[in-house]
Structure 1
Amino acid sequence: MAPTTSPALPAGYTLHAGYPDIPSYLQLRSASGLTPKSPAQAAPIASNSWYGCYIAFEGTPVAMGRIIGDGGWYFHIADMATLPDHQRKGLGQVVLTELLAYIARNAPHDETKGECPYVTLFADGPGKRLYEKNGFQVAAPKQTGMQIYDRRVVPGQWA
């Protein structure tokens, strides 16, 4: 687990618990290189995530991340994104540290009982170094990530 105190933010940046508004969320995703989403896809994020945080610069959201999971043992880091003009300033480290610290503070954790949070994420090329620096390891060959993505659901089957 990562340290439970966030690194200092550069001047003008502030860390907030919660989620950016939907237009900011959508803009952060697309501008940072994540797959664009629609307002309908973004709408349930705040109510269906376990925790999230974002960093604002002079009031505008410029970096974000969130945790989806059950609150018991399984946690998935998602939507890690920083606007290109604000990258290379340590903002991703601050967001990731905050997310991991929230898990450490709030998830059941007692190693003597075998209670340890299971934290996963999908890493793209630019984020891989950040995640490895924070203790994440490639799961292969023991585990392989799999997905069904960008398909239309037909009742009772995948098209």
Structure 2
Amino acid sequence: MSIKVQNNCANINWHEVRNILKTVGMSYVDVDIHKKSFENSYTVVFIFDDEKLIGFGRSISDGVRQSAIYDIATLPEYQGKGIGKLIIENIIKNTPTCNFILYASPGKEGFYESLGFRKLKTGMGLFIDMERMKNKNFIK
């Protein structure tokens, strides 16, 4: 593997972003919406193996106190090789004074716990499609 980290949205193939999200079973939408989401984020991280996009993530933040992490995804064949950890570490490094929140895909909580995250006791969510999120086990 020849790993390259990119912290901007230059020359990203947004179809690949959408396809990776779809491949790993995460929520995906029109490529233009993904592009806008990443471009409007405080921090973005794209991981390449040579020229192949293999993972990414982003955060929205005030830059000093609070940061929310979204869209952490790694191609299945690269999972378990430290790519997700590299994405999270790069996000945290960019906002070291912040508290971080995220919501994990069901079954992925252990990965985030291994990086120091803990379950929230008072976390709440209001989603556009509450029934969908309930069916996907994100909410009670």
In the TM superposition, what is the alpha-carbon distance from 1:70 to its structure 2 partner? 2.2
Match of 1:17 in 2: 7
Gaps of 5+ in 2: 131-140
Could you tell me how far apart the structure 2 residues matched to 1:126 and 1:88 are? 14
Q: What is the RMSD computed on CA atoms of the aligned residues? A: 1.8
* TM-score, normalised relative to structure 2: 0.81
Match of 2:57 in 1: 65
Could you tell me how far apart the structure 2 residues matched to 1:147 and 1:84 are? 29
- Identical amino acids, percent of aligned pairs: 20
Is 2:123 aligned against 1:131? no
Match of 1:76 in 2: 68
The partner residue of 1:144 within 95, 119, 123 is 123
In the TM superposition, what is the alpha-carbon distance from 1:147 to its structure 2 partner? 2.1
In the TM superposition, what is the alpha-carbon distance from 1:35 to its structure 2 partner? 1.1
2:14–2:32 contact (8 Å) kept in structure 1: no
Bigger Rg, which one:
1
Is 2:102 aligned against 1:118? no
Aligned to 1:14, what secondary structure does the other structure show? Answer: strand
Aligned to 1:100, what secondary structure does the other structure show? Answer: helix
In the TM superposition, what is the alpha-carbon distance from 1:45 to its structure 2 partner? 2.2
Aligned to 1:137, what secondary structure does the other structure show? Answer: coil
Q: Which amino acid aligns with 2:115?
A: N
* TM-score, normalised relative to structure 1: 0.73
Q: Which amino acid aligns with 1:70?
A: D
Cα deviations by residue, 1:121-154 (Å, 9 ceiling, x for unpaired): 00123431221122211112xx132121338xxx
Could you tell me how far apart the structure 2 residues matched to 1:35 and 1:18 are? 22
Match of 1:35 in 2: 27
In the TM superposition, what is the alpha-carbon distance from 1:27 to its structure 2 partner? 1.2
Could you tell me how far apart the structure 2 residues matched to 1:43 and 1:93 are? 23
Could you tell me how far apart the structure 2 residues matched to 1:57 and 1:12 are? 5
